[in-house]
C-alpha cells in the first residue's frame, strides 16, 4: 500500500513537472524564444517512458523463434598475460609488477566492446564489463586488442584480426593466442534471450504512445512501431482511464495475452493480440545480461 502510494506520488510529480515545463515552453514559443517549428516537439517530449515487464527465461523454456543468426552474445571471459613484456621489462611504468589491462573488440574497424580497466593483474576477467547481444554483419572482420592502461611503451599487449569467426569458435568459445605470449578467451554464442513483449510506451494526457520497440521481440513481429497510438487495452478505451490503470492492464496481461487496439498515422485502427515470448535485445536497446 505504501509502495503504491509512493509510486502514485512520484507519477503525479513527474506529470506535474511535465505540464509545467510544457506551459513554460509554450510561453517561450509565443514570444519567439523557442522557434515555432520546434515548439510542438520540444515542448511535448517530457512524458515518462514505461516498459512492458521483462524477466529471465525459465529453465527448459523452448525458444520460439530461435535466436537470429545476425545477433551474437559476446563477452570477454579472461586473459593470461606474461609476467614481463617481450623485451623483459616490467609492465607498469610506475613500477608495478603487473599491468592494468583492458580489452577492445572492433568490428570492421569500429569499436564494439570496451572493457573497464582491471588493475594490477596478469589474469583479468573484467567483471564490470557490459555483457550483451550485438549485431554482427555477415563476413565481418573482428579485431581483438589487449592493452595496458599504464604502459612503458604505448603498444598493445595483443592485436589480432579474425576474418573467419565461425570456423574459430568452438563450443561458444573463441581462444586467441598473441605474439606476446598472452592469451585471450571470449564467449561468442547465439544471442541470449529475455522474456517480454519488447514494448516501451509513454502515458500522455489523453493517449498512450509507443516510444520504442525491441527489434527482435513479439511487439516487432506484430508490426508495432514507434509512433503508434494505443487506443484501447483489453477492450477498454485508453481515454478516461484512471491513473495507473493502463500500466496495470499491460503488466497483468503480458503473459496471458494482451489485447491492444492501435492507430498508425497513415492507416486505420487495428487490433493486435500480444503475448510474452523470447526476445533478443541488443546493448543499444538498453538490456544487458
Per cent of the chain over pLDDT 70 is 82
pLDDT band at 5 (very low <50, low <70, confident <90, very high): low
Q: What is the average pLDDT across 243-258?
A: 96
* Whole-angstrom distance, CA of residue 76 vs CA of residue 198: 27
pLDDT of 81-112, one tens digit each?
998 887 777 776 665 678 999 999 999 999 99
Q: Is 91 exposed, middle or buried (0-12, 13-18, 19+ CB in 10 A)?
A: buried
Q: What is the average pLDDT across 239-254?
A: 94
Cell of 83: 609476467
* Whole-angstrom distance, CA of residue 280 vs CA of residue 76: 20
Do the beta carbons of residue 202 and residue 208 sit within 8 Å?
yes
Residue where the block lists cell 552474445: 73
First-to-last C-alpha distance (Å) of the chain: 32
pLDDT band at 15 (very low <50, low <70, confident <90, very high): very low
Amino acid at each position: 500500500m505504501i509502495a503504491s502510494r509512493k509510486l502514485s506520488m512520484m507519477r503525479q510529480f513527474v506529470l506535474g513537472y511535465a505540464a509545467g515545463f510544457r506551459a513554460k515552453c509554450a510561453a517561450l514559443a509565443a514570444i519567439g524564444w523557442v522557434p515555432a517549428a520546434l515548439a510542438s516537439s520540444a515542448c511535448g517530449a517530457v512524458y515518462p517512458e514505461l516498459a512492458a515487464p521483462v524477466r529471465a527465461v525459465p529453465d527448459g523454456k523452448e525458444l520460439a523463434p530461435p535466436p537470429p543468426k545476425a545477433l551474437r552474445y559476446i563477452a570477454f571471459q579472461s586473459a593470461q598475460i606474461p609476467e614481463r613484456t617481450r623485451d623483459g621489462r616490467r609492465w607498469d611504468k610506475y613500477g608495478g609488477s603487473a599491468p592494468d589491462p583492458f580489452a577492445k573488440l572492433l568490428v570492421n574497424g569500429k569499436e564494439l566492446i570496451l572493457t573497464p580497466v582491471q588493475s594490477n593483474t596478469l589474469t583479468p576477467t573484467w567483471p564490470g564489463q557490459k555483457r550483451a547481444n550485438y549485431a554482427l554483419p555477415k563476413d565481418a572482420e573482428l579485431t581483438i586488442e589487449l592493452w595496458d592502461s599504464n604502459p612503458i611503451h604505448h603498444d598493445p599487449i595483443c592485436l589480432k584480426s579474425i576474418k573467419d569467426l565461425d570456423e574459430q569458435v568452438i563450443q561458444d568459445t573463441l581462444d586467441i593466442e598473441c605474439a606476446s605470449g598472452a592469451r585471450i578467451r571470449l564467449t561468442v554464442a547465439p544471442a541470449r534471450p529475455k522474456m517480454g513483449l519488447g514494448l516501451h510506451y509513454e502515458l500522455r494526457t489523453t493517449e498512450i504512445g509507443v516510444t520504442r520497440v525491441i527489434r527482435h521481440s513479439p511487439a516487432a513481429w506484430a508490426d508495432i512501431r514507434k509512433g503508434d497510438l494505443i487506443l484501447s487495452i483489453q477492450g477498454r478505451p485508453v481515454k478516461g482511464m484512471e491513473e495507473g490503470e493502463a500500466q496495470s492492464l499491460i503488466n497483468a496481461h503480458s503473459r496471458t495475452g494482451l489485447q491492444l487496439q492501435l492507430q498508425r498515422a497513415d492507416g486505420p485502427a487495428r487490433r493486435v493480440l500480444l503475448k510474452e515470448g523470447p526476445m533478443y535485445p541488443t546493448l543499444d536497446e538498453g538490456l544487458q545480461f
